[in-house]
Amino acid sequence: MVSDFPGLRLLVSPMSPLGLLLPALPFPLFTYPGFAFPWELKHKGLFEKFKCDTVSLCAADGRALLFTADVPFITELSSFASREVFPKPVDAYKVLSYLGSNLVVCEGEAWRRQRRIGAPAFSKSMFERLWIDMRDIVREMVEEERWEERTSLTYPSSLQVTDSGYTLKPGEIMAPHVVDLTLRMALAAIARAGFGMDFEWEAEASFTHVCQTFGNPQRWTWWLAILRWIWGICDVIFAPLACLFRPVITVVPAHFGPKASAFWKSAPLLPLRLVWVVMFYFLEELWTLFARPTEADFNPRKIKVHEALHLVAKDSTLRLAVPTWMMYLPFRRMRRMRIAFTTLEAELRRLAAEGKQYHQDQLDGRSQFNSASPQEERSDLMNNLVKAAMMDEAEMNDPKGSPSTGIVKGLTDEEIVGNIYIYFLAGHETTAHSLAWTLALLAAYPSYQDAVIEEINRVWPPDHSSYEPFRNDTSMDDYAKFPFVLACYWETLRLFPPVQMIPKLVAKDVAITVQASNVNPSLPNELPLARPKLNAHHSSWSSAASTLCPPTPVVEAKTNLGESGSCDTSLVQNDTGHTRFAVKKGTIVFVDPPGVHYNPQYWEDPETFDPTRFMRTYNKEAFIPFGVGHRACLGRKFSEVESVAMLIHLLKNYSVHLVPSSANGTVDVEAARAKFSRASVRITLTPAEIPLIFRRR
């Protein structure tokens, strides 16, 4: 039984609606680590604590869960042969199906049909377009944000001061949260290469901050005029006082802040903190009526599609936890969530209708799709998906074809919209966050950034006779020439896996075998060097990697049922150090990517940022940022091509640096890494704040 295995015993399950909303309580005082516990605890705080790479989680509500970082077990768990025993629990993904069925939320024949139709949408011509689009997106960002002008040593200094007291020097640009840039670049990539949409770069102080302004109550014009007058008087009165008492305002918090923060976070004050959180939420809602008027109050505008998509990605977990009627409550976040979801739904349905009409016109004008001339073909992802779906349906309706076998072909309108939504969501947020962390890690470890530049200059030798910041003669063929850049991106995905939990449902009583103990794990000795090849989804990497952790039979073909029909619940340890135990039907088994990626049994010095580990033979089965087995992410190569293209064009022209931690310009790398490693778990892992400085090379 699951309860026979070591693990957490909780009052509330993190997977329950209440668990999604509750904050993390002091661990292990109340034994509730919060919904984000796989990321917060990783391998050391969970699996190492219980001395086993598979642990149980049992809650008072009767939920029995397993979390595993045992790679041989995961390999068999996610294999195609085990798909009937360990299917995907589609109910856990219902928040992703509100626009229609898609690859993520379906199983069985429905999944195979959508996979068959969706895979060809990631065509060679689409990747060619993506590679060129990313170059143009980085160029537009640099031009619209005036980076070339602002990084000039002759540009007038703004004397911008960071929170640490460091004053920016001429030629330096600070991005307070670099996700504001990477989010818009990733959105532009999926909008253009994914859906053929126009996406013009707009220079904004903070994209994420602008998105938060939607949902504010619409105040009367006369009330806004009064507030503007009141706030103007306050500026006149309190501005001199702020200058007078600024030393006190800065010194006192710096001296007493850490002690006060530690006291406030102590266990005895937990009830008071919970009360304060509720009070602060309602006070914040009330304050929106009296907040300083902005231009958006006097000239409100409609939310844009990319803003709606960002808010949908941010609030999808909340949408899962609250019923539909709560979206109509008079709270700012509920209004914002309702506006974002309805706007995105309308836009995706419009895109799907346009795509179907485009290909229907193609079908009416010719006898076959394949006769379209290159000038008429559109190579974006959405049109490829719609085309594949309509071709599949056309084959079904072809009178010359084989008789119907009763198998549904094509995609319904709801399935087309649902898959577009998934591609849109997965195609921007995960990549944007991973790119932000890649830049932060390269800033923290300059030697690896120098190695990236060496590789770029080796592929594209600098031409001092002519200045060409962005290569005009590049093509998708160049992608395979940057293995170390891709290795840096992979190492970031290992340290910051986008997906924190991959659930599998036990469909019938079954006996499984897992590693009995992870105490004193040993890594393989010297690993043979193997240079990575970047084609065919990297299937040509050395097969020797699979021998690092040979899979052992973990799921027996026959369930160990006695005459009474119940599973044998005894734990049996064999001579190989593995434990065999029974799992009942209905149990959820979670693959734990942070636990796997920080497992010292598969990764040497797992806490260390070392991209060179991917330039050697490594355990492919222990690298799971894109999922595992036959259900792995279909858009893996899209993310990799997009990320490599963005990194090489940005880093070719600008170096990236951590924000100094003191006024004299020194940098505490460990403190900076701890700061930019703070993250929350929504649909994917989301960074809290990543401030970086850029300088022209």
Does residue 130 sit in the same domain as residue 204?
Answer: yes
Residue 402 structure tokens: 């084989």
Pair 446, 492: CB distance under 8 Å: no
What average pLDDT score do residues 550-562 get? Answer: 33
Pair 452, 485: CB distance under 8 Å: yes
For residue 369, is pLDDT > 50? no
Would you say 243 is a known binding-site residue? no
Confidence of residue 525 (pLDDT cuts 50, 70, 90): very low
Pair 499, 684: CB distance under 8 Å: yes
328 lies in a domain? no
Q: How far apart are the C-alpha atoms of 176 and 380, rounded to whole Å?
A: 33
Does residue 488 sit in the same domain as residue 453?
Answer: yes
**Range name among 57-66, 305-314, 405-414, 438-447 with the lowest pLDDT average:** 405-414
Q: How far apart are the C-alpha atoms of 76 and 253, rounded to whole Å?
A: 54
What average pLDDT score do residues 35-57 get? Answer: 88
pLDDT of residue 320: 67
- Classified as helix, coil or strand, 581 is strand
Mean pLDDT estimate for the chain: 77
Residue 371 structure tokens: 């006769």
195 lies in a domain? yes
Residue 331 φ/ψ, nearest 5 degrees: -115, 145
133 lies in a domain? yes
Does residue 189 sit in the same domain as residue 265?
Answer: no
Confidence of residue 296 (pLDDT cuts 50, 70, 90): low
Which element (helix H / strand E) includes 149? Answer: helix 147-150
Q: Residue 478 sits in which domain range?
A: 124-215+427-498+614-696
**Range name among 53-57, 353-357, 610-614 with the lowest pLDDT average:** 353-357
Does residue 494 sit in the same domain as residue 506?
Answer: no
CA 217 to centroid of chain Cα atoms:
31
Residue 661 structure tokens: 């931690």
The strand ranges marked E within 60-184 are 64-68, 172-175
6 lies in a domain? yes
205 lies in a domain? yes
488 lies in a domain? yes
Sign of the alpha-carbon dihedral angle for 649, 653, 657, 663: negative
User: 196: domain CATH number?
Assistant: 1.10.630.10
Q: Considering its fold, how many domains does the chain have in total? A: 3
- Residue 451: other Cβ atoms inside 10 A: 18
pLDDT of residue 407: 46
Confidence of residue 292 (pLDDT cuts 50, 70, 90): confident
48 lies in a domain? yes
Does residue 440 sit in the same domain as residue 487?
Answer: yes
Does residue 1 sit in the same domain as residue 88?
Answer: yes
- Please spell the DSSP secondary structure of 227-283, one letter per residue: HHHHHHHHHHHHHHHHHHTHHHHHHHHHHHHHHHHHHHTSGGGHHHHHHHHHHHHHH
Does residue 675 sit in the same domain as residue 578?
Answer: no
pLDDT of residue 535: 41
For residue 506, is pLDDT > 80? yes
Confidence of residue 543 (pLDDT cuts 50, 70, 90): very low
Last-in-domain residue among 292, 313, 329:
292
Does residue 621 sit in the same domain as residue 600?
Answer: no
Omega of the bond leading into 28 within 30 degrees of 0 (cis): yes
pLDDT of residue 312: 78
Pair 42, 592: CB distance under 8 Å: no
Q: How far apart are the C-alpha atoms of 228 and 230, rounded to whole Å?
A: 6
504 lies in a domain? yes
Sheet holding 588-591, edge to edge: 7-10, 54-59, 64-68, 588-591, 502-505
Does residue 504 sit in the same domain as residue 590?
Answer: yes
Does residue 1 sit in the same domain as residue 89?
Answer: yes
Q: How far apart are the C-alpha atoms of 440 and 186, rounded to whole Å?
A: 17
Last-in-domain residue among 610, 631, 657:
610
Q: How far apart are the C-alpha atoms of 587 and 86, rounded to whole Å?
A: 10
Confidence of residue 593 (pLDDT cuts 50, 70, 90): very high
Last-in-domain residue among 584, 610, 636:
610
Sign of the alpha-carbon dihedral angle for 79, 83, 84, 85: positive
Does residue 182 sit in the same domain as residue 167?
Answer: yes
pLDDT of residue 3: 60
For the segment 54-71, what is each residue's pLDDT rounded down to a tens digit? 888 888 777 778 899 999
- Residue 172: other Cβ atoms inside 10 A: 19
- Which of 304-318, 360-374, 631-645 has the highest mean predicted lDDT (pLDDT)? 631-645
What average pLDDT score do residues 89-107 get? Answer: 78
Confidence of residue 533 (pLDDT cuts 50, 70, 90): very low
Confidence of residue 565 (pLDDT cuts 50, 70, 90): very low
Does residue 472 sit in the same domain as residue 483?
Answer: yes
